Structure 1
Amino acid sequence: MELSTLLLFIPACFALNLAPGPNNLLSVSNATRYGFRASCAAGLGRLLAFVGMIALAASGLAVVLHASELLFHAIKITGALYLFWLAWQLWRAEPAVGEEKGDTGEAGVLRLARQEFLVAVGNPKAILIFTAFLPQFVDPARPVAAQFALLGALFLAFEMVAIAIYAAIGSRLRRWFAQPRGKRIFNRACAGLLSGAGLGLLLARRA
């Protein structure tokens, strides 16, 4: 792969990683409720989902999503409903219970990672990004699999940075919303944003 291609890919890719979205919002919320480390660990669920999407894009199977309107709608409706459910859970959450240490053990982190995973796989636009974005930087005259592997590895590395950045933002906000009333306000604000993301997903159309 040409160095000039990588120099074009890196800033464009990092901009996508840093763009606000359901998963990044979830990182902020998790850091505010459970701390920086728990939020970063939960982000591994998102990375696992993206590994699968990159593999689909590299194998060409993701083209099925372009071809099947029914599949696209099924994924986006399921993803939107899950975002609405998460928003409802946040809205009803009691901030004074289980948000400092009780839910940050292995079982708690696995639960948060599962949420990150499901939010990622429930967003068909994420698959479309890998299908439409990554191939633009692949030279068909060279080994395609190796190029997808390199671009995918860079995307995942930048995604880890984005997870840490949003988790750090959440950690800072955690200090501002230290009291139960402040936590409740923040949780409900996040619930509103997640609901908005779910609505946006319902309105999304295939490119």
Structure 2
Amino acid sequence: MEWGTVTAFLAVDLLLVCVPGADWAYAISAGLRGRSVLPAVSGLVAGYAVHTLLAVAGLAVLVAGSPGLLTAVTVVGAGYLVWLGWSVLRRPATPGAAADAPAASPARTFLRGAAISGLNPKGLLLYLSVLPQFLRPAGPPVAAQTAVLGAVHMANCAAVYLTVGVLARAVLHARPAAARAVTRTSGAAMLGIGGFLLVERLATL
């Protein structure tokens, strides 16, 4: 696979990853609630690893070609984002509250991160619409190209979300009011993204 193609995908994908969304919201929330953001970010990356494996196996194309299945996946993912966003709004994380309340276990934090990215309809659409544009039929097997580009996406996610989570903890740790406001904004973002995706998908039925 040509390095020029990989570099071009890296640049485009990095721009997309840097756009705040549900993954950002979870990284920020994890940075405020836990001592380490690593379990949360590892979970987010694991969710995209599942997307990559499905794309390599050709299942992503199958989902794209089945309107009913695509709708079901989108509705489940969007519904999960709405529920998670509402939960964050009800109980916004702050450094002081995190110190008083028991933190979620690393395993639970990891699994929630994997669920967020694994069920994120935006992630699925990236693998269905953006990634295929960088595949070259004349190059190595398409499955191998998909695996390489998927690995690039996971690396971008790991770098960006670790940075976001660590900065959120470092900058907002001593500012409970600001931390609460940022967390509520993150929850509202998840709620809004999930609601928009639900309305958009159900409107096509």
Q: For structure 1, which runs of at least 5 residues remain unmatched after alignment?
A: none
CA RMSD of aligned residues (A): 2.5
Among 185, 195, 199, the alignment partner of 2:195 is 199
When normalised by structure 2's length, the TM-score is 0.83
User: Displacement of 1:173 after TM fit?
Assistant: 4.2
C-alpha contact (below 8 Å) 2:135/2:142 kept by paired residues: yes
Return the TM-score normalized by structure 1: 0.82
Equivalent position of 1:168 in the other structure:
166
After TM superposition, the structure 1 = structure 2 runs for residues 78-117 of structure 1, keeping only pairs within 5 Å, are: 78-93=76-91, 95=94, 99-100=98-99, 103-104=102-103, 108-117=105-114
Q: Does 1:16 align with 2:16?
A: yes
Residues 101 and 196 of structure 1: CA distance in aligned 2, closer, same or farther (over 3 Å): same
1:172-205: CA deviation from partner (whole Å, max 9, x where unpaired): 4423533xx5554443333222211211221345
Contact 1:42/1:110 (CA < 8 Å) preserved in 2?
no
SS at 1:57 equivalent:
helix
**Deviation string for 1:25-54 (max 9, x for gaps)?**
11012112224x2x2321111211111111
Gaps of 5+ in 2: none
Whether the 8 Å CA contact 1:33–1:174 is kept in 2: the answer is no
State the alpha-carbon separation in 1 of the partners of residues 134 and 164 from structure 2.
27
Post-superposition offset of 1:102: 5.6
The match for 2:155 among 154, 157, 160 is: 157
% identical equivalent positions = 28
What secondary structure is seen at the aligned counterpart in 2 of 1:133?
helix
SS at match of 2:59: coil
Contact 1:40/1:163 (CA < 8 Å) preserved in 2? no
Contact 1:93 1:187 in 2 (8 A): no
Residues in 2 aligned to 1:11 and 1:183: alpha-carbon distance in whole angstroms:
31
Corresponding residue for 1:27? 27
SS in 2 for 1:100: helix
